[in-house]
Amino acid sequence: MSAPISVLFVCLGNICRSPTAEATFVAEVARRRLEHRFRIDSCGTGDWHVGEAAHPETRRAAERHGVLITHRARTLVTADFDRFDWLLAMDRKNERNILRLSRGPEDAKKVHLFRRWDPVEDPEHPEVPDPYFTGEFDRVFELCARTSRALCDALLDG
């Protein structure tokens, strides 16, 4: 049996976007009964919310779609480059923050924008909007769910 595919979703505070992406990806993997094929987590590049549950509106948006978010916020650490095959940033600022922590080309090649896999990705807007500031919790959930389905397909094919 091969090693699981390891995916880390990364945003700023790890209370809105990355826990939503993590939860929608976990739900998609579970729907396919492929939990044994993946290791999945999320984190933030900032440390303001370490140990906190996801934002209440983030959790409510997920619950409206039958998805439970139980993740507690944590911060990205250098060891995550050893633990994960894919470090998926929710926006360009976090992508830059992740790359600053990378130790070289081997780490950097693992870093991508999450919406790279969005089947309706808009090249003008390749980022997941931050609902902490926009209030678009349901939109972010739907965007993450759609992208998670496509990401799962791509990782299983690749």
Q: Output phi, psi for 24, to 5 deg.
A: -70, -35
Catalytic residue selected from 11, 43, 144, 152: 11
- Percentage of the chain beyond pLDDT 90 is 91
Which one-letter DSSP state was computed for residue 8?
E
Q: Specify the pLDDT at position 114.
A: 97
Q: Specify the pLDDT at position 1.
A: 58
Count up the domains in the chain and report the number.
Answer: 1
Q: Output phi, psi for 129, to 5 deg.
A: -65, 150
158 has pLDDT over 70: no
Q: β-pairing, 5-11 with 38-44?
A: parallel
Q: Specify the pLDDT at position 91.
A: 96
Length of the chain counted residue by residue: 158
Chain centre to alpha carbon of residue 75:
13
Q: Specify the pLDDT at position 111.
A: 98
111: left (phi over 0), alpha (psi -120 to 50) or beta: beta
Catalytic residue selected from 16, 74, 130, 149: 130
Q: What is the tens place of the pLDDT at every residue in 56-113?
A: 999 999 999 999 999 999 999 999 999 999 999 999 999 999 999 999 999 999 999 9
What single-letter amino acid sits at 132? Y
Chain centre to alpha carbon of residue 114:
7
* Mean of all residue pLDDT scores within the chain: 95
- List own/partner pairs for 96-99 with CB under 8 A and 24 or more apart: 97/45, 98/10, 98/45
**What CATH code is carried by the domain that includes residue 128?**
3.40.50.2300
Q: Cα angle vertex 15, ends 110, 120, to 5°? A: 55
21 has pLDDT over 70: yes
Catalytic residue selected from 17, 74, 115, 149: 17
Active site residue 130: yes
Q: Specify the pLDDT at position 122.
A: 73
pTM of the model: 0.96
User: How far is residue 81's CA from residue 111's CA, in Å, rounded to a whole number?
Assistant: 9
Range of the domain at 64: 5-157
Active site residue 11: yes
End-to-end CA distance of the chain: 16
